[in-house]
Chain A
Amino acid sequence: MQFVISMHINPAVLDALTDEERQALGQGHGEFLEGLKASGELIITQALVDPSQAAVVRVHDGQRVVTDGPFLEAKEYLGGFYLVDVEDRDRALELAAQIPDAAIEGLGVEVRQVLFSDGQLEA
């Protein structure tokens, strides 16, 4: 079964990390990714640009209105995700716990099962 494991990042928390901590975070994701590839559980992972680069699109009376910045003024933003194909929910939770963000106060890792998918898999 397929799950999205998403990272909810807090720019303030990330900014406050020391260089070593930031490096360890990057390395942790690298190792996690290699492990997922080797186990045949990774489908795709994507990391998103900083929330300040987001744009919100609305349509009023057929007219497009674009506002720069994220949809919600929040502390945490979607930073990226891993889409995995695993044996069961427990394995997805086990994997989520291996993501370095899970051990950093103020960052969140969320697990949700996929309900529907379509499109090209060979991204």
Chain B
Amino acid sequence: MTRSAVEDLLRELTPQVLGALVRRYGRFEGCEDAVQEAVLAAAVKWPSQGLPDNPRAWLTTVASHRLIDQIRSENARREREELASAADVPPEDVPDTDDTLLLLFLCCHPTLTAASQTALTLRAVGGLTTAEIARAFLVPEATMAVRISRAKQRVKAAGSTFELPPAPEREERLRVVLHVLYLIFNEGYTASSGAVLERVHLADEAIRLTRLVHAQLPDDAEVTGLLALMLLTHARRRARTTADGDLVPLAEQDRGAWDADLVAEGLDLAKSSLSGTDLGPYQLQAAIAATHAVAATAADTDWRQVHALYLILERIAPNPMVTLNRAIALAEVEDPQAGLAVLKELEEDERMAKHHRLLSVRAHLLELAGERDAAYEDYRRAAKATASSAEQRFLEERARRLRG
């Protein structure tokens, strides 16, 4: 079995084994460490020695032993005695339930920061090693290790239990889970030099985890909407940058390079997410992505529909970035001046007025309006304000084009 096939299998088994252990022993933080150790041992062993007869049972047994060792070394006498008997009865190998969702609720506990939620989710549910997560987020492994262990201590301190949150907060907790998956996807989507591969891998991982949630909650319209949004966005990945890593805006992308299978699946999901009565931000963003996906060329885009969808999104989830996107759509439906008028309101907020996204959108609209000098100035200011080097190159290129 190849190394990457083993890694895929380990990622799939990680939440199942962890779920079984937590059900058996409680203490999420200790179980998580034990499972990680078992997974690391398997990653070394299996590619050379072949798979054991029952990989999941192997992992469960090894992880249980690690956990017992760990507790022994903690030197807690009473627990040691209690667990001595428990160790004789390892957890049932075949879980009768999929614990992915329960684990996600723990990892995305609201007392954690977003950075900790994403790291813990990738390790405990995604089955990634600390080293892989550290590389993906461009921080040293030691930094990531501390972050993960602290996150687990915090989950423990919050007194979380391994069960679904009570009904009144379940909806809200699920939104946090979806937000974390969305953040992981975005992290993977923001290509940055030197780390492009690792980050693409994060987007794949986010999609894989969102598929797991969707399998558990097929009727949740926002889960379906988020999965659709990810697939429709990920479908454009090859068209989104040049071989040199330069950004290609949507209007200039080679639509033939979009991944047709992902587009088809994303469109189906987007459609089904809108079939019910619920309407949430991911469904709307998926609907916008779907509108772009069905346009054969940029000129064929149904901007009227895009604008209407942004208008609804702005109402249910107000956010300056949504307003900026609506301004672009309105400029296409009416004229650049209409788009610029929308920006006027945002400019009243001092911090927003200096934001690189506002500056770059205004530059784009000014360019469409034929105000080349003003557009040039805004592209340059936007390039100075961004913290992404790929975007900076793109904005500087736009500015240069106006002077060329």
Contact = CB atoms under 8 A, between A and B. Distances in A.
Interface of A: 1-2, 37-44, 85-87, 113-118, 121-123
B210 to A, nearest CB: 23
A116 B390 CA distance: 9
Given A2-B138, A40-B144, A87 B115 contact: yes
28 contacts: A1-B387, A37-B146, A38-B150, A39-B147, A40-B116, A41-B147, A42-B143, A43-B140, A44-B140, A85-B115, A85-B137, A85-B143, A87-B113, A87-B114, A87-B115, A115-B387, A115-B388, A115-B392, A116-B193, A117-B138, A117-B194, A118-B193, A118-B194, A121-B134, A121-B139, A121-B141, A122-B141, A122-B142
B146 A38 contact: yes
B171 to A, nearest CB: 25
Contacts of B389: 115-116
Contacts of B388: 115
Nearest to B387: A113
Report, nearest first, the 4 A-B pairs whose CB atoms are least far apart. Answer: A40-B147, A40-B146, A116-B389, A118-B194
A37 B148 CA distance: 13
A60 B403 CA distance: 32
A85 B114 CA distance: 13
Contacts of A117: 138, 194
Contacts of B386: 115
Nearest to B146: A40
Contacts of B142: 122
Given A40-B147, A116-B193, A85 B387 contact: no
Nearest to A44: B140
A43 B146 CA distance: 11
Contacts of B387: 1, 113-115
Contacts of A122: 140-142
A115 B392 CA distance: 9
A42 B145 CA distance: 12
Contacts of B141: 121-122
Interface centre among B134, B138, B150, B193 (most CB of A within 10 A): B138
A39 B145 CA distance: 10
A87 B144 CA distance: 13
A44 B145 CA distance: 15
Interface in B101-129: 113-116
Nearest to A1: B387
A82 B387 CA distance: 18
A54 B143 CA distance: 31
Nearest to A112: B387
Contacts of A43: 139-140, 143
A118 B194 CA distance: 6
A54 B385 CA distance: 31
B292 to A, nearest CB: 28
Residue of A2, A87, A114, A121 with most chain B CB atoms under a 10 A cut-off: A121
Instruction: Report which residue of B134, B142, B143, B144 has the largest number of chain A beta carbons within 10 angstroms of its beta carbon.
Output: B143
Chain A CB within 10 Å, residue with most, of B116, B140, B194: B140
Q: Which of A41, A113, A123 has the most CB of B within 10 A?
A: A41
Contacts of A41: 143, 147
Nearest to B115: A87
A54 to B, nearest CB: 28
Interface in B187-213: 192-194
Contact of A121 (B113, B140, B148): B140
A2 B115 CA distance: 12
B14 to A, nearest CB: 22
Contacts of A2: 138-139
A38 B141 CA distance: 14
B139 A39 contact: no
A121 B138 contact: yes
Contacts of B192: 116
B138 A40 contact: no
B139 A85 contact: yes
A118 B135 CA distance: 11
A114 B192 CA distance: 12
Nearest to A38: B146
Nearest to B147: A40
Contacts of A123: 140
